[in-house]
């Protein structure tokens, strides 16, 4: 079934066993109808609506078709490039994040001392809301906040940083908040992937004289490529949705539009600037970008899979 690879959700597909029973079509129809209606109404219809309204001037009272003007405006006033740059900065932290989570997961797999407790504590930030984490970061890293107080107390005033005052440091805060809240999830997912590795494979590698890093790169990583692929897709989609809360609560997109990303601008354009058409155009761009990235990730991993076989 070629269709099973649609959107690349190949490994999420379930092989359905055939159950020998008389099919009662009506009952099945009734069972699926509610979620079908909800999905069509709340997910599919708005998606199509966004595609359409990106090409219109949209207000509560009227909808006027204006072709590509929204897209043209976004490109010509330069805001689209800035937004994409900001998104790119966030996305570029993904490899670092995955690499460190993989190392921690491998240490946990080797059952380092206290790993069970560490696992629970590392995951803890993931259950806190982005607002709580964001405001905590903003409070702790404030100009007169606790962190700078310690530095002043130690008479190292040259290290005092106005974190929210400049673009690079504000970005570092958003990224730090995101990574801090998510690495526990990554560790857990990678650990689950590693649990399917045969211990004997690693043990014989030890006998053959492979050191820790060699085992990590040559045995563990190749064996959990599927899990990494899964997490990468989850993380990329997550980056486009979860970063909203951090940006809202830490920088509010500032200084200026310095940390405003595409998904945050969708909100600003629609609910602060009242430019519904442009917001829809941005949303369309966001959707296409996510779709393309996810497809590329899955393609690359499929290539890696073939190459290994």
Partner 1 sequence: MKRGLNKISKIVIFVIMLLMAMTSIYFLLFMVINSFKTQTDYILSPLALPREISFSNYVMMFKSYNIVKLFTNSLIIVSSAIFIEVLFCSLAAYAFAKTKFKGKNLIFLFFISMMIIPFQVLMLPLYMMFAKINLINTRISLIIIYSAVSIPFALYFLTTNFRRIPNEIMESARIDGASYFRIYWSIILPIGKPALITLFILDYVWIWNELALGLIFLQSEEVKTITVAAATILGNRYSFNQPLLLTGLFLSCLPILILYSFAARFIMKGTTAGAVKG
- Per CB under 8 A, which of residues 155..194 are in contact with partner 1? 180, 185, 188-193
Q: Give the nearer residue to partner 1 in terms of CB position, either 89 or 244.
A: 244
| Residues 36 to 65 in contact with partner 1, rule: CB under 8 A | 38-39, 41-47, 49-50, 53, 60
In the complex, the smallest distance separating the C-beta of residue 173 from partner 1, rounded to whole angstroms, is 14
Q: Is 211 left (phi over 0), alpha (psi -120 to 50) or beta?
A: beta
Radius of gyration of the chain (CA): 24
222 binds partner 1 (CB under 8 A): no
CA neighbor of 174 nearest in space, from 72, 253, 79 = 253
154 binds partner 1 (CB under 8 A): no
Give yes or no for a contact between 189 and 231, defined as CB atoms under 8 angstroms apart. yes
For 297, half-sphere exposure in the C-beta direction (CA atoms, 13 angstrom radius) is 26
Q: Give the nearer residue to partner 1 in terms of CB position, either 45 or 217.
A: 45
Q: Give the nearer residue to partner 1 in terms of CB position, either 171 or 278.
A: 278
117 binds partner 1 (CB under 8 A): yes
Tell me which DSSP letter residue 60 carries: S
Q: What angle do CA 253, 285, 92 make, to 5 degrees?
A: 60
* Tokens (6 digits) for 12: 């999420």
Q: Which residues have a Cβ under 8 Å from the Cβ of 201 and sit 6 or more positions away?
A: 219, 223
CA neighbor of 282 nearest in space, from 95, 50, 85 = 50
| Residues 83 to 112 in contact with partner 1, rule: CB under 8 A | 104, 107, 109-112
Q: Give the nearer residue to partner 1 in terms of CB position, either 95 or 135.
A: 135
Count of H helices and E strands in the chain?
15, 2
In the complex, the smallest distance separating the C-beta of residue 89 from partner 1, rounded to whole angstroms, is 18
Which x/- pattern, by CB under 8 A, does the window 120-149 give for partner 1? xxxxxxxxxxxxxx-xx--xx---xxx--x
CB atoms within 10 A of CB 174: 23
Collapsing DSSP to helix, strand or coil, 255 comes out as coil
Stretch touching partner 1 by CB under 8 A, among 10-18, 69-77, 85-93, 164-172: 10-18
| Residues 246 to 305 in contact with partner 1, rule: CB under 8 A | 248-249, 263, 266-267, 270-271, 276, 279-280, 283-284, 286-287, 290-291, 294
Collapsing DSSP to helix, strand or coil, 29 comes out as helix
206 binds partner 1 (CB under 8 A): yes
Total residues at interface with partner 1 (CB under 8 A)? 116
In the complex, the smallest distance separating the C-beta of residue 46 from partner 1, rounded to whole angstroms, is 4
In the complex, the smallest distance separating the C-beta of residue 100 from partner 1, rounded to whole angstroms, is 10
């Amino acid at each position: 079934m070629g269709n099973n690879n649609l959107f690349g959700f190949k490994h999420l597909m379930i092989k359905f066993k055939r159950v020998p029973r008389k099919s009662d079509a009506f009952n099945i129809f009734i069972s699926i109808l509610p979620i079908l209606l909800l999905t069509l109404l709340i997910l599919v219809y708005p998606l199509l609506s966004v595609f359409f309204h990106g090409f219109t001037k949209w207000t509560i009272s009227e909808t006027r078709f204006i072709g590509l003007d929204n897209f043209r405006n976004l490109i010509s006033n330069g805001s689209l490039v800035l937004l994409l740059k900001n998104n790119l900065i966030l996305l570029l932290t993904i490899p670092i994040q995955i690499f460190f989570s993989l190392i921690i997961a491998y240490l946990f797999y080797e059952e380092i001392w206290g790993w069970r407790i560490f696992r629970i504590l590392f995951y803890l930030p993931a259950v806190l809301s982005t607002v709580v984490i964001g405001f905590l970061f903003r409070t702790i890293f404030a100009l007169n906040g606790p962190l700078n107080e310690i530095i002043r107390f130690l008479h190292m005033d040259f290290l005092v940083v106005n974190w929210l005052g400049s673009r690079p440091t504000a970005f570092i805060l958003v990224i730090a908040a995101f990574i801090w809240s998510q690495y526990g999830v990554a560790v857990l997912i990678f650990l689950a992937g590693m649990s399917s590795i045969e211990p004997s494979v690693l043990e014989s590698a030890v006998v053959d004289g492979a050191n820790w890093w060699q085992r990590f790169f040559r045995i563990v990583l190749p064996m959990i490529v599927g899990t990494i692929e899964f997490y990468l897709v989850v993380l990329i989609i997550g980056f486009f949705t979860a970063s909203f809360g951090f940006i809202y609560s830490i920088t509010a997109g500032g200084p200026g539009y310095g940390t405003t990303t595409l998904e945050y601008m969708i909100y600003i354009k629609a609910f602060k600037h009242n430019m519904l058409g442009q917001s829809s155009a941005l949303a369309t761009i966001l959707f296409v970008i996510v779709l393309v990235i996810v497809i590329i990730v899955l393609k690359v991993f499929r290539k890696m899979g073939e190459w290994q076989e």
